[in-house]
Amino acid sequence: MTFWKKRTSLLDPFGRTVDYLRVSVIDHCNLQCIYCVPPGSIPWTPKAELLTDAEIARVVRAAADLGICKVRITGGEPLVRPGLPDLIQTLSSISGIEEVSLTTNGTLLARCAQDLAAAGLKRLNISLDTLWPHRFRQITGFDGLDQVWAGITAAVSAGLSPIKLNVVVMRGINDDEVGDFATLTRGHPYQVRFIEFMPIGPTAHRWRDLFVPAEEILSRLEGAEPLTQECPEGVAHRFRLPGAAGTIGVISPMSRPFCGACTRLRLSADGYLRPCLFSGKGVDLKDPLRAGIPLRKLRLLIQSAAAAKPEGWMAKGGAIPEAVAQTMCEIGG
């Protein structure tokens, strides 16, 4: 009998080691952020068309055999999906998976932070674009800032660390809060991460008006106090205010593109494996999964997605892409 011998790495055509899988578990969201969810009725994917827990686990198991070691759970809003702690526990127990993390808007986090930590979740990214209640409603369509802070408090109590706060900076909407967010790091070990606005979703056609480059974000911070530069972490350039408990990160996909070093694949909630954020739908895994595909052939499909990774949509001075038609909810944040 021939046994599968685990590979040490999954390589794309440019020699990059692909070791990171972002898994969207649902395209639904309980917020309607202006840069993500279009106004009006939203044609969410029917439950029967979403990958089941067992199907997601099967994909992750095959990916781990190929060298994937990090998994991030995304959405939509992943906490909208029932039973998420059980899925995280399953994924955390898969041989070769070293870390399972989660991106959430935090509004539902208070009720399940302890369960998530007990299931094996290692760390959290929480999307938070304003510190003002009225502006939170303007950006998201709902009153929920208190729930986000309750979720952050619960996550800290559950031992989930580090807590990363993701702030999409938009000119004329929240760019005047850069200093306030930075101040949060003085007394708390948060990692506040300022993210450049990207041309994706319903406001993509306005991105040039909303865009605030990383250089401008840093100049505003450095104008108030000198920053100490720290070792980068992933795609974030990190800095620290004098004596601060936490750090400040700047993520600059537009002005300082980093896709040439991308190590990710993205699994959408409806079962497509994307080689790149700006790819088309990608490789269909749902139909083969439901047809009973053997694990060996599932690995081949994952390898085909890695083989389709482009060098990067802005590699070697390429042009800024046209707006992506699908929303981040549909793609998987």
What is the tens place of the pLDDT at every residue in 240-282?
A: 999 999 999 999 988 888 888 899 999 999 999 999 887 777 9
Q: What is the pLDDT of residue 54?
A: 98
- Report all structural domains of the chain as residue ranges with CATH numbers, in order of start: 20-331 (3.20.20.70)
pTM: 0.93
Share of the chain above pLDDT 70, in %: 91
C-alpha separations of 144 from 61, 132, 277 in Å = 36, 11, 28
5: pLDDT strictly greater than 60: no
The token duo for 193 is 């991460």
The answer to whether residue 300 scores a pLDDT higher than 90 is yes
Q: Is the pLDDT of residue 58 over 70?
A: yes
